[in-house]
Chains A and B, each alone.
Chain A
């Protein structure tokens, strides 16, 4: 049985939201940065078993440094959230806990997966100390460029949403 689920991708400017979706949906990556204006919709069907699959309708929202200003009309009826920050840019995760609280209040506590992206840009040993230092509650560390752990993060949310319904 296939179910459709609306997933919004949120985060600050330039953290790699569109690149993550592009990697997940069509397994592609581009170094050229194009700002997302408004919203872009993509879709990917995830097979969870022989019988069950989830059709993820991915709403790639334009990045913003002030999450409380997100257009609420885009968040209506959201089933799940992917929140992305840039490991290489502390300004995108310094207030992560507060940002997540804001998101939580706007999407009525829907399941949220927190992703630290651009793993390829920071040496492995620095990442753990950096995240520990700021006490960052993340779920996955990914690289849209290499594709590392991207699929796992999306599949994890798809699985939660499937069991949630």
Chain B
């Protein structure tokens, strides 16, 4: 027993001689492990250490996006735009239309105001002359000039088939589905007969009524108007149509349009409910002043 203890003590002495720093090193390692454990468990401390590294990596990755992911993104976008050209154009059309129209309208308004200033006196004189020579009174003439156009009927029609998708009407008229078909036939005939690509029939006039036709890619909107229909009314009406199309039709592309492929694949095809379309037409055109 005594011999065994001696041997153990000797071994320890030998160990101290051979590895003098061993114990200190173990203690140091243990301390560092405790510190690392503490840092990992304390989120704030870990964040202080890791965040700069992550930020650096993200920054490097962001800089490399044009080189690494750029071609893939461009190719995907090109493919999507190519495959869904109509939908993209239909979504952009109202936005571009609005921009162009507003610019043109602004220019025309300025021109019109200049002409009005020049002709104001002449107009008043003309009204007086007409009333003196047995025509309607000056007040009646003024009323007539001020009487605005009224929206009587709005039809949302599928451009190729001429099939009526929804309608809004103030008064009852003859079969709207037949009107839609006939309007489409007239429109197709005129647009085809003059061989002018990308030109659309925009207005049909008959006595007291005007039918304004606003074409988009897959659908067009026909608005029947009574009363004085001038450039100002047309501007207002176009704004309403563009707003309706942009807010409702263009923003609901996946509901309005569906590819035949999806149908064939047996996937569920979502389309806009007719009642909802009618409500939307009524909301947009019902109390509109043009």
CB distance from B174 to the nearest CB of A (A): 11
**Residues in chain B near residue A4, CB distance under 8 A:** 163-164, 177
Contact A74 B185 (CB under 8 A): yes
Query: Which of B181, B191, B192 is in CB contact (< 8 Å) with A41?
Result: B181
Q: List 23 A-B contacts (CB under 8 A).
A: A4-B163, A4-B164, A5-B163, A6-B161, A6-B163, A6-B181, A38-B185, A39-B189, A42-B178, A43-B175, A43-B181, A55-B177, A57-B178, A59-B181, A73-B188, A73-B192, A74-B188, A74-B189, A76-B159, A77-B160, A77-B162, A77-B163, A78-B161
Q: Is A71 part of the contact surface with B, judged by Cβ < 8 Å? A: yes
**Residues in chain A near residue B159, CB distance under 8 A:** 76-77
**Residues in chain A near residue B175, CB distance under 8 A:** 43
Chain A interface extent, by class: 10 to 19
Interface centre among A4, A38, A41, A71 (most CB of B within 10 A): A41
Report the nearest A residue to B188, measured CB to CB.
Answer: A73
How far, in angstroms, from A71 to B194 measured CA to CA in the complex?
A: 12
Contact A57:B189 (CB < 8 A) given known A41-B182, A43-B175: no
Q: Knowing that A41-B178, A57-B181, A76-B159 are A-B contacts, what are 13 other residue pairs whose CB atoms are under 8 Å apart, sorted by A's residue number?
A: A4-B163, A4-B177, A41-B182, A57-B163, A57-B178, A59-B162, A71-B188, A73-B188, A74-B188, A74-B189, A76-B161, A76-B188, A77-B161
Report the nearest B residue to A38, measured CB to CB.
Answer: B189
Q: Is B90 part of the contact surface with A, judged by Cβ < 8 Å? A: no
Query: Which of A6, A42, A55, A72 is in CB contact (< 8 Å) with B192?
Result: A72
**Residues in chain B near residue A57, CB distance under 8 A:** 161-163, 177-178, 181
A-binding residues in B (CB < 8 A): 158-164, 175, 177-178, 181-182, 185, 188-189, 191-192
Report the nearest A residue to B190, measured CB to CB.
Answer: A73
Q: Is A12 part of the contact surface with B, judged by Cβ < 8 Å? A: no
Interface centre among B160, B181, B189, B191 (most CB of A within 10 A): B181
B-binding residues in A (CB < 8 A): 4-6, 38-39, 41-43, 55, 57, 59, 71-74, 76-79
Report the nearest A residue to B183, measured CB to CB.
Answer: A41
**Residues in chain B near residue A73, CB distance under 8 A:** 188-189, 191-192
Contact A39:B185 (CB < 8 A) given known A4-B164, A57-B177, A71-B192: yes
Contact B161 A43 (CB under 8 A): no
How far, in angstroms, from A6 to B182 measured CA to CA in the complex?
A: 12
**Residues in chain A near residue B162, CB distance under 8 A:** 6, 41, 57, 59, 77
CB distance from A161 to the nearest CB of B (A): 12
Report the nearest B residue to A45, measured CB to CB.
Answer: B177
**Residues in chain A near residue B160, CB distance under 8 A:** 76-77
